[in-house]
Structure 1
Amino acid sequence: MLKNMDDKLRLTWHGHACFTIDTGKKVVVDPFIEGNPVAKVKKDDIKADAVVISHGHFDHVGDAVYIARKNKAPIVTMVELAWILGEENKDVQVIGINLSGSTEVNGIRFTAVPAYHSTGYNGKYGGAASGFVIEHNGFTLYHAGDTGVFKDMELIGELYRPQISMLPIGGFYTMSPREAAYAVKMLRSKVTIPMHYNTFDAIKQDPQKFKVEAEKNGTRVVIMGVEETREFSRAELT
C-alpha cells in the first residue's frame, strides 16, 4: 500500500463504458446502470464529484442526471447535449464544451476530443460524439467513448500523453479488438483497458484476443471484471 492517497489512482469498471475514476476526486463517466444487464450496483451507490457523458445515446447518458443531482455534482459533456439536459433539468449544473475545448471542475481538467460515432438524445440532435481526456493530481486518462479507429488518435497521444486509455472493443457499434489494438499503437499509453463489450449479444468479444494483439504494440492491457477496482501508482504509469 502506498502511504499517500494522492500517489495512486483507483479505477472501477461498472460494466459497458462506465467507470469511476478516483484520483482523490471521483469522476464517473457514461453511467449506464439501470437497464444495464451486467450492472452489479444501483445508481444510488455511485458517488461523484463530476459526471461525464461522451455522447447522447441511452447507454451513455444512462443515469447521469440522477447521479449528478444526488451528489450535487456537475455534468460535463458536449455543448448541444448540455443545452438539452440543462433545459430539462434546471436544478443540475451542466457544462457544455466542444472538441478541443477544456474546462476545470473541482480541480479536475476535462478536454473533449473527437470520436467517430453517431449521436443523438431522445430523438434530438445531441452534438458530436466525443471522447474525453481527464487530468487530475498528475494522472491523465483518455476515455474514448464510442468510436471507430481514426488517425487523429496519434494527436491525442502526442498532445495529451494519456497514461491510461479506455477503449471500446465490442465491434458492431464501435471498434472491434483488431481496430482497438491498432489504436493502442497511436495512443502509446502505458495501460489500456477494454470496455463496451459483452453487455449485449451484438457486442460479444473475447478481451484476451485484444490483450494479445494490443500488447504487441507496447501497452499493458488490464482486463477488468464488473465492479472490480484496480489501483495504479504514479510510478508505474510514468
Structure 2
Amino acid sequence: MKIHFLGHSAFLLEAQEHRLLLDPFLSGNPQASLGVEEVLALRPSAVLISHAHGDHWGDALTFARQGIPLVATAEIAGYAQKHGATAATGMNIGGTFRAEWGSVALTPAWHSSSFPDGTYGGMPTGLVIELGGQRVYFAGDTSLFSDMRLIGDRDLDAALLPIGDHYTMGPEEAARCLELLRPRVAIPMHYGTFPPLTGDPAVFEREGKARGVDVRVLKPGEETDL
C-alpha cells in the first residue's frame, strides 16, 4: 500500500487499482498538495469520513455528487444524500463496510462532530481500513483513550494520528497512543495547518521511536510505502 499525505488530515491510500480518499479537506486548506479536480481525475474508489467538522468533511460532497461512494456515520451519509450525493453508505461504530477494495470499520473517537452549518454530524469516529492485505488505523481527531488497546489487537500495519494539540491531542499524548495501538508504522497529521495547531512532529517522532515504532513524518505531497 502507498500512503499519500495531501495535507492536514487528508490522505490517499492506494493499492493495486484502488484509491481511498480520507477526510478530503482540500479547498481552503493552505497545506493541500492537490486540488479537488486533480483528485477527482484519480477516481477514488471511495471517500471515507471520520467526522463532520469542516476541516475533515471538506470537499466530500463534491466527490459524492460525482458518484464516488461516500462511507461514514449514518448522520453524515444522510446529510450527504440530502445534499445531492448519489452513493452514500451510512453505518455506525462497531460496524464494518465491505467492498471490492476491502473494508472499513468504525471505531469510537473522543471529539465532537457537526457540519459547518451547525447540523449534528453524529458521533466522531476512527477508521480501521483494510486495503491490499494491510490494515491502517485512521484516528480522526480523537484523544488518547484506553480502548485503543483493543484497536491495536487488530494487528495494525500503520496508525495515522493527530498531534496538533488545542483541538486534538498533542505529540506526547499521541506517542502514548502507540503503546496501546502497537502499529508497525505511525504517521502524524493535523498539525501546523492553522496557528493553534502547534504540535511538533519532531517530538512525536522522537517519542514514537523511543517506543520502537517506525515514525514517518510526511510533508504534504509526500508518500510512503507500507
TM-score band w.r.t. shorter chain = over 0.9
The 1-side partners of 2:166 and 2:200 are apart by 14
Greater fraction of residues in helix: 1
The 2-side partners of 1:178 and 1:112 are apart by 25
Does residue 144 of the first structure (1) align with residue 139 of the second (2)? Answer: yes
- Mapping of residues 197-236 of structure 1, within 5 Å: 197-232=191-226
Please give the root-mean-square deviation of Cα atoms over the aligned residues, in Å: 1.1
Change (3 A) 1:80 1:113: same
Contact 1:54–1:130 under 8 Å retained in 2: yes
Task: Give the paired residue count.
Answer: 221
Contact 2:107–2:127 under 8 Å retained in 1: yes
Query: What's the secondary structure of 2:168's corresponding residue?
Result: coil
* Match 2:179 to one of 170, 176, 185: 185
Query: What's the secondary structure of 2:62's corresponding residue?
Result: helix
Who is 1:60 aligned against? 56
The 2-side partners of 1:52 and 1:44 are apart by 18
Who is 2:101 aligned against? 107
CA shift, 1:88, in A, is 1.5
CA shift, 1:205, in A, is 2.4
Query: What's the secondary structure of 1:203's corresponding residue?
Result: coil
TM-score, with normalisation over the residues of structure 2? 0.95
Does residue 124 of the first structure (1) align with residue 119 of the second (2)? Answer: yes
Query: What's the secondary structure of 1:202's corresponding residue?
Result: coil
The 2-side partners of 1:11 and 1:107 are apart by 15
Amino acid at match of 1:44: E
* Match 2:76 to one of 70, 81, 106: 81
Who is 1:18 aligned against? 10
TM-score, with normalisation over the residues of structure 1? 0.90
CA shift, 1:77, in A, is 0.4
CA shift, 1:107, in A, is 2.9
User: Unpaired runs of 5+ in structure 2?
Assistant: none
The 2-side partners of 1:60 and 1:16 are apart by 9
* Match 1:49 to one of 37, 42, 45: 45
Contact 2:64–2:88 under 8 Å retained in 1: no
Structure 1 stretches of at least 4 aligned residues deviating more than 2 Å after TM superposition: 67-70
Contact 1:188–1:218 under 8 Å retained in 2: no
The 2-side partners of 1:75 and 1:108 are apart by 14
The 1-side partners of 2:55 and 2:109 are apart by 16
> What percent of counterpart residues are identical?
37
